[in-house]
Amino acid sequence: MMKPKAKVCSYVLFLILILPASLPAQEDISLNGYYKSFFVVIGLPDYRMSGEIQSTLPLGSVQNKLRLQLAVHALSWLSLHTAYELTPTIQDNELFRSNLSITEIGAEEYRFIDFAPRFYPLQSESADSFGFFHNLDRLFFTIMLPFADLYIGRQAIAWGSAHVVNPTDVIAPYSFNELDTEERRGVDAIRLRIPLGIMDELDLGFVAGHEFAWEQSAFYARTKFNLWSTDLSLLVLGFRQNLLMGFDVTCAIGGAGVWLEAACIIPEILKPEQEREDESACVGISLGADYSFSGELYGFIEYYFNSAGSLQPEHYIENLNSQVFRDGAVYFMGQHYIHLGFTYQIHPLIPLTGLIMWNVTDLSLMIILSVEYNIAENIYLTAGAYVGLGAHPERIVMGPGVFEQRLYSEFGAYPDMFFSSFRIYF
């Protein structure tokens, strides 16, 4: 007998297949997508053990991703949007077994039901060097009502104007070392967007956690409006029984774009009082500006303050057990950061992009560089690197085969990555 979860997934696929065939007009359907291939070499950080610097061999990964996107405009007021990804991956088996980042964002996704992400080998089996993954990343209906637009299903939800860290974006955020950030990962939600004027809007939504469990779900109200040539948004968000209150302001000053994005998170305030842990509120603030110096050079600077972080690097790992880290609302471990980014157009078809992330707390750096070549229309080749500079972590032997890891800097503890990618859009 088919399990309820399998039944739902089967019905979803059946709907995707039959709905386009039921439409009389071919122009009501659009199909597009892309193919991407990533080749990555990962250098694990050196570490100190028994007073000596230890090194490990680099790890390799080859990932291919095929994404198909289908939009069906069934009626003047109804449309369906879907996206499905197939990702065969060949890599060192250690990459299947472990998460190389110190922190992990969104360990529990906002999806009330889903396929197992890996269908070969099965999730119950261990992968050696090959894994075949899939992801139903979009499946939502858009219903155009007389007074609003209603979105029901798996969709992308993202907020914030900051360029590196978005304090208000906690539903499905990216960490800084994600290689593929083109598509925000879909979440299961009901969203109502009500226009209040030419540039003003009220956005209301519910985001479902696993099996609609209240302690894993989220709800929000967000308004956006323009006042005195300034874009302002206000957000109230309940997520995983935490409460976030935030705002986002963007404007132009003297030819430069300026932004201020801030959020205050009160952990576990939506839990019954007897179940709460004694954790204080935390604040995240991103303040920055960008400027186009010429037709070839664009740059920005951003300061990020993270009160949930620690001022002592030796407390970084201990601090990761706090509620805001566990729920994916925060992932940087220090308190003060300065980010410098640029894009230089070497040639009309060759942009060079760079980002320097400086943890002022422990003086470590993450340097990110990439260069892209537009080979032909809709075909791109990219190469780049993520290189961390900072004090090495240390492993302390606690017993036979048992180690305790201590950090003395943040970016010195992350792996270096060197990558190339090939992308075709159709």
Check residue 318 and give its pLDDT. 86
Single pTM value for the model = 0.87
pLDDT tens-place string over residues 72-101: 998 889 999 999 999 999 998 888 776 554
Would you place residue 399 in the very low, low, confident or very high pLDDT band (cuts 50, 70, 90)?
Answer: confident
Check residue 106 and give its pLDDT. 45
Weakest-pLDDT range from 5-14, 36-45, 248-257: 5-14
**Domain assignment of residue 23, yes or no:** no
More confident residue, 406 or 250: 250
**Domain assignment of residue 268, yes or no:** yes
Would you place residue 19 in the very low, low, confident or very high pLDDT band (cuts 50, 70, 90)?
Answer: low
Q: Give the sign of the dihedral formed by CA 317, CA 323, CA 327, CA 328.
A: negative
Would you place residue 408 in the very low, low, confident or very high pLDDT band (cuts 50, 70, 90)?
Answer: very high
pLDDT at 3 over 70: no
313 neighbors 409 (Cβ within 8 angstroms) = yes
Would you place residue 116 in the very low, low, confident or very high pLDDT band (cuts 50, 70, 90)?
Answer: confident
**Domain assignment of residue 17, yes or no:** no
Check residue 12 and give its pLDDT. 54
Check residue 119 and give its pLDDT. 85
Spatial distance between the Cα atoms of 419 and 339, rounded to a whole number of angstroms: 22
174 neighbors 181 (Cβ within 8 angstroms) = yes
Check residue 104 and give its pLDDT. 44
Highest mean pLDDT out of 12-21, 104-113, 140-149: 140-149
**Domain assignment of residue 332, yes or no:** yes
Q: How many CB atoms lie within 10 A of CB 398?
A: 9
**Domain assignment of residue 198, yes or no:** yes
More confident residue, 405 or 41: 41
Share of the chain above pLDDT 70, in %: 91
pLDDT at 291 over 70: yes
133 neighbors 89 (Cβ within 8 angstroms) = yes
pLDDT at 13 over 60: no
Check residue 274 and give its pLDDT. 79
Check residue 2 and give its pLDDT. 47
Weakest-pLDDT range from 158-167, 212-221, 314-323, 380-389: 314-323
The parent domain of residue 56 ranges over 4-10+29-425
**Domain assignment of residue 219, yes or no:** yes
More confident residue, 324 or 409: 409
Return mean pLDDT, the chain: 89
pLDDT tens-place string over residues 294-350: 889 999 999 999 999 999 998 898 888 888 888 877 889 999 999 999 999 999 999
**Domain assignment of residue 21, yes or no:** no
CATH for 282 = 2.40.160.10
**Domain assignment of residue 18, yes or no:** no
In the chain, the number of structural domains is 1
